[in-house]
A = this chain, B = another copy of it.
Amino acid sequence: MQYLQDAMTPEDVPEEAPEPRNLRGRSAAHVAERIRDRILSGALPPGERLSERSLTEGLGVTRTPLREAFKILEAEGLLNIVPNRGAQVVELSSADVDMAMELLAGLESVAAELACARGTSEQFAEVAALHARMVACQRAGDLVGYFRINQNIHQNIVDCAHNPALSRVYRAESARVRLYRFAGNRVSARWSRAVMEHEQILLALQQRQGPLLRELLRAHHLNGWHVTRKVLDNEVQPDL
């Protein structure tokens, strides 16, 4: 299955918090974060085999914390570890992504009603501001910025539900399919429609119309994923 090479650029990786000089006790987490960023940015593409030797040299740690990081990333669903044959970046089938998208849509629909019930107007304003920035990216033809902010908007809506467990699961599952997810946006016919849908979504959120928001998000997801799926299956030529 195809995937989007450049869903995320290096600038997309938030610059890490000023690390404690000595990261004793945090090596594995630190390494996992570095590798996770490389996977999510596409620098380590699906199917890529991760050799312990090259990564220890690249990251300046020894094999023990590296192997611990592998276990973390495997638990997150980003790596497969095959005994005696090392780790490789998970490759998702079209069916896998279908299922993940269905789950994400479900999580968003759950979040919708909670967000309308509990989101603060500050949070809604934040979403609105992101939307404005996304439209600016669209106008400027900045695909990468558009993707990033789009992703951000959806996460922000989920966060409006004020349920950390929901936010955490959404974030993790979203990350798993990130590379596959946004290829549909390469079809620019979809762009303007997606922006319109987002405007409706924003309105429903601000007016706290939970059931409506739920349906809008569900429809938005289905629309977007339909297009994306066709691109991934090479039925439609992307505009690049």
Interface residues of A (CB under 8 A from B): 24-26, 28, 64, 67-69, 71-72, 74-76, 83-84, 96, 99-100, 102-103, 106-107, 109-110, 114, 163-166, 169, 173
Contact = CB atoms under 8 A, between A and B. Distances in A.
A83 B26 contact: yes
A166 B99 CA distance: 8
Given A72-B72, A106-B110, A110-B109, A99 B24 contact: no
Contacts of A99: 163-166
Contact of A102 (B67, B71, B166, B173): B166
A163 B76 CA distance: 18
Given A68-B67, A71-B72, A109-B110, A24 B166 contact: no
A68 B69 CA distance: 9
A107 B68 CA distance: 30
B169 A169 contact: yes
A102 B68 contact: no
24 contacts: A25-B83, A25-B84, A28-B71, A67-B68, A68-B68, A69-B71, A71-B71, A71-B75, A72-B72, A75-B75, A96-B164, A96-B165, A99-B163, A99-B164, A99-B166, A102-B166, A103-B163, A106-B107, A106-B110, A107-B110, A109-B110, A110-B110, A165-B173, A169-B173
Nearest 3 interchain pairs by C-beta: A25-B83, A106-B110, A75-B75
Contacts of A25: 83-84
Contact of A75 (B76, B83, B107, B114): B76
Nearest to A161: B102
B72 A102 contact: no
A110 B76 CA distance: 22
A114 B71 CA distance: 32
Contacts of A64: 64
A83 to B, nearest CB: 2
A150 to B, nearest CB: 21
Given A67-B68, A165-B173, 11 more contacts: A28-B71, A64-B64, A68-B71, A72-B74, A99-B164, A99-B165, A102-B114, A102-B165, A102-B166, A103-B163, A110-B110
Interface centre among A69, A99, A173 (most CB of B within 10 A): A99
A83 B173 contact: no
